[in-house]
Amino acid sequence: MITPSSLPELRDAVLSAPRVIAVGAETKPRLSAVEAVKISTRQLSGITEYEPSEFTFTALAGTPVKNIIAALAEKGQYLPFDPMLVEAGSTLGGVVASGLSGPGRFRYGGVRDFILGVRFVDGMGRLLRLGGKVVKNAAGFDVPKFLVGSLGRFGVIGEVTFKVFPRRESTLTLQMPFEAERMARIANSRFEADALDVLPGGEKMLVRLAGPGKALEVLAKEIGGEIIDNAIWNEIRETRWNFKTDLTPDQITDFKAAHVSCCGNVAFSHTPPTRGMTLRGEFPLWIGGRSRFAIEGAVKQALDPQNRLPTLDD
């Protein structure tokens, strides 16, 4: 394994072997389980720029997300999409490459909605800077968003810029029996739920509310259900479920083995679903196949014509 400690060294590492793949803390090992020399980003760590007044920060790819969350909290800010596997050691680059978001994706959107800019090394060894460091800088093709969920197949991420939000005043969690109609009603109501998940077994669902404490108490009485400890969301964030797949609302009740998140948009399961992506385990990377688009081949040809990096099918 090669362990560069600077962006120039990262460029040299990419060119040092005919086939390479980047890894961070390897909290999702199946995503990088390919025949290639591994480049660790663990020494590419640290926040390089943080402007609380602009609600943006820039950090190196190997920076533990836990450190970023702590730095943002000191300024009363946070990443609303609920990064996953934080205590397990997930890195910022891994969050982008995997495209994995937590329960907060329901209300605020996922990783793709918060990334502003990126510096990465492509398959030809070019250290590229795309996107910007401010929200208003949005000229040209939005390549940073294209890299979200790319699994490091188009370039090795070295540095990322994100926008952040003010931290909510307080949160309150309700637990209630799962009913598909009730969940849909809450999802589309004026309550503006912060998160909406269904626990494994399909019998109970969770509703997270965010805002002024007194207002949340009033909303909780109107919605109904049992108020439980907010700590359950930390358990969900650190889950050991092995699979991720998109579901339609009518499939939720048929997916008993899964933790269903984001009002049915994502599910995490110990057992192989009909369709999904493997995060851990010996199963194929893509279960049930995946969609392919012409732009994928065009971008791969532009950034990695020699296939120094694995493809999304490897």
Per residue in 165-203, pLDDT (tens digit) is 999 999 999 999 999 999 999 999 999 999 999 998 888
Instruction: Give strand pairing partners of 160.
Output: 59, 118
- What separation, in Å, do the N-terminal and C-terminal C-alpha atoms of the chain show? 19
Rounded Cα gap, residues 184 and 171, in angstroms:
21
* pLDDT tens readout for residues 126-142: 999 998 877 655 555 68
127 and 266 together in one domain:
no
Instruction: Measure the CA–CA gap between 58 and 117, rounded to whole angstroms.
Output: 9
Do 203 and 140 fall within a single domain? no
Which stretches of 84-203 are assigned E, i.e. beta strand? 115-121, 127-131, 156-163, 165-166, 170-177, 195-198
Together in a domain, 161 and 240: no
CB 22, CB 93: distance < 8 Å: yes
> Residue 232: CA atoms inside 13 Å, Cβ hemisphere, count?
20
DSSP annotation of 115: E
pLDDT score, position 135 = 63
Average pLDDT estimate for 1-22: 97
139 and 13, same structural domain? yes
Residue 298's domain comprises 7-166+291-303
Residues 233, 128 share a domain: no
Give the whole-angstrom CA distance, residue 230 versus residue 125. Answer: 45
1 domain residue, yes or no: no
Q: Are residues 94 and 179 in the same domain?
A: no
Assigned token pair, 76: 């009363």
Number of domains the chain is built from:
2
The model's pLDDT over 259-313, given as tens digits with 9 standing for 90+, comes to: 899 998 888 887 777 888 999 888 899 998 888 889 899 999 999 999 999 999 9
